[in-house]
């Protein structure tokens, strides 16, 4: 297996919306006095090697401990995390049990059970993590993004959400994907090892026919939170925070026997923590923000100054002018530019929530510059604009 994988933490399809009429994008390097480059090929932008690869297996014990740390102890949440744990690890046999799943013919399930042993699970690095980001979160977002860009409106995204069903909807939806994806991976592996295996086209057709009633509003809010967490910058921050806490606990118990939970915490694998945390925390945040009735707005930029974006495009506005480590309570407002003229804002500010419309036209250059300044401050290294003019930043 190839030991490197190029992971895009900001989708190429998203960046394409910032291309100018010449199909190019200007890239500014914050580490090099805002030196600019003209970019026409997006394949290498906002990507790094093995960002989403799981280099060490996540154990059930680690997964359960992370759930305890996060305050999750409900059976539904624990079972959900077990499925994610198996999928991230590449342990696809965990998706096959003696009970034949829905829409899978019994004879095929029996065949799976017969041939699976010894050939299915990944023996080394697992790439499965990337599938969740690209095939679930991104695909849903692209469908919504395309409609927003074409219509320049979010009126079709109806907030008809029952707050009590948010987490259940997101759990069921992701688990449905994990099962469908796992069976496709299983089928492919079986064919590789047993080329004379009976035709399993019917299974793929049955899996393809599995439908899920989607909610565009929840899907979009969920994607905003996922994009906020999934970047190289945020994943690095999460790892550093975990290492910082480990050092703190080591000092606290330097002269004492370690309690059991502290020992477990110090032994915790960073990948285990980060990837389980991202999926759990995103669902928790979506439910919390919907519960307190955050408002989704589309900002329409009618000035000659374009919205810019960065290698961390989905940001918490508050963190751009308050120390992020001091953020508490309601200090959370998501800003996400989706083109030079359009941006999404998910906010709890009273001034915005009292507006009847879901779309705001901006004619004030100062406001655009403030949004751009926040993007610049919270970027990791690179800014992107459709115009090669540093004054825009």
Going residue by residue through the chain, which has 393 residues, state the pLDDT in tens, using 9 for 90 and above.
445 678 899 999 999 999 999 999 999 999 998 889 999 999 999 999 888 887 788 888 888 888 877 777 777 778 888 888 888 888 877 776 655 555 566 666 666 666 665 566 666 667 777 888 888 888 889 989 999 999 999 999 988 888 888 988 998 888 888 887 887 777 777 777 777 766 656 655 555 555 567 889 999 999 999 999 999 999 999 888 888 888 988 888 888 888 887 888 888 888 878 888 888 889 989 999 999 999 999 999 999 999 999 999 999 998 876 655 455 556 789 999 999 999 999 999 888 888 888 999 999 999 999 999 999 999 999 999 999 987 666
CA-based torsion, 381, 385, 388, 393: positive or negative = negative
- List Cα–Cα distances, 243 to 140, 224, 225, 269, 325, in angstroms: 34, 26, 23, 10, 15
* Alpha helices per DSSP H over 93-215: 106-115, 128-131, 139-151, 166-193, 201-208
Distance CA 278, CA 280 (A): 6
**Closest to 387 in 3D by CA, of 66, 3, 18:** 18
List residues bridging with 334 in a β-sheet.
Answer: 316, 346
CB 376 within 8 A of CB 383: yes
Distance CA 295, CA 347 (A): 5
Find the length of the chain.
Answer: 393
List residues bridging with 198 in a β-sheet.
Answer: none
Distance CA 342, CA 148 (A): 9
Q: Which residue in the block uniquely carries the two structure tokens 């079709």? A: 156
CB 84 within 8 A of CB 279: yes
In the DSSP assignment, the letter for residue 103 is: T
Going from N- to C-terminal start, the domains of the chain cover 6-392
């Amino acid at each position: 297996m190839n030991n490197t994988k190029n992971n895009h933490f900001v989708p190429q399809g998203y960046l394409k919306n910032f291309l100018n009429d010449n199909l190019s994008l200007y890239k500014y390097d914050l580490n090099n006095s805002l030196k600019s480059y003209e970019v026409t090929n997006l394949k290498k932008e906002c990507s790094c090697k093995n960002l989403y690869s799981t280099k060490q297996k996540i154990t059930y014990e680690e997964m359960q401990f992370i759930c305890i740390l996060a305050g999750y102890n409900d059976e539904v949440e624990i079972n959900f995390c077990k499925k994610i744990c198996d999928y991230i690890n590449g342990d696809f046999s965990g998706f096959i049990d003696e009970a034949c799943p829905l829409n899978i013919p019994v004879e095929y399930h029996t065949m799976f059970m017969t041939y699976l042993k010894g050939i299915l699970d990944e023996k080394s690095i697992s790439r499965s993590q990337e599938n969740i980001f690209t095939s679930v979160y991104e695909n849903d977002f692209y469908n919504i993004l395309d409609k927003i860009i074409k219509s320049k409106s979010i009126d079709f995204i109806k907030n008809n959400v029952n707050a009590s069903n948010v987490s259940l909807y997101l759990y069921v939806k992701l688990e449905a994907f994990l099962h469908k994806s796992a069976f496709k991976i299983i089928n492919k592996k079986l064919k590789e090892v047993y080329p004379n295996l009976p035709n399993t086209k019917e299974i793929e057709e049955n899996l393809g026919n599995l439908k899920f009633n989607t909610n565009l509003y929840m899907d979009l809010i969920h994607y905003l939170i996922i994009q906020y967490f999934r970047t190289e910058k945020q994943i690095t921050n999460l790892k550093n925070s975990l290492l910082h806490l480990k050092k703190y606990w080591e000092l606290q118990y330097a002269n004492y026997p370690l309690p059991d939970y502290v020992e477990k915490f110090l032994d915790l694998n960073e990948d285990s923590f980060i990837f389980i945390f991202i999926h759990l925390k995103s669902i928790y945040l979506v439910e919390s923000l919907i519960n307190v009735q955050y408002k989704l707005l589309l900002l329409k930029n009618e000035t000659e100054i374009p919205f810019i974006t960065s290698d961390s495009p989905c940001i918490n506005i508050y963190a751009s002018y308050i120390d992020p480590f001091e953020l508490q309570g309601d200090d959370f407002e998501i800003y996400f530019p989706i083109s030079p003229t359009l941006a999404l804002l998910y906010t709890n500010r009273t001034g915005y929530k009292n507006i009847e419309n879901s779309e705001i036209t901006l004619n004030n250059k100062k406001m655009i510059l403030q949004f751009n300044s926040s993007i610049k401050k919270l970027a990791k290294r690179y800014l992107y604009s459709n115009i090669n003019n540093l004054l825009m930043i």
